[in-house]
Amino acid sequence: MAGDLPDYYFRIRENGAVVFKVDTENRQRRIELEEIATVNVRNGNIKPHGEVKLTPADLG
């Protein structure tokens, strides 16, 4: 099942999107979404959520 899911999930908003990282590696076999960033398409800003450090793979 984990191979069928994408690594990231995007929730579209008015000026861009909220980016979540999909996590399927847990004991309850649940899908968890961790919010990692907010993207503003009008000015191109990518703003990390809280204390999250974005990796080059996250930005690419």
Q: What is the pLDDT of residues 2-16, one digit of tens each?
A: 558 889 999 999 999
Across 36-41, average pLDDT: 96
Model pTM greater than 0.85? no
Closest CA to 24 of 41, 4, 42, 47: 4
The pLDDT of residue 1 is above 60: no
Q: Where are the domains of the chain?
A: 2-52
Share of the chain above pLDDT 90, in %: 67
Q: Which are the contacts of 58, defined by CB distance < 8 A and separation ≥ 6?
A: 8, 19, 21, 36, 37
Share of the chain above pLDDT 70, in %: 95
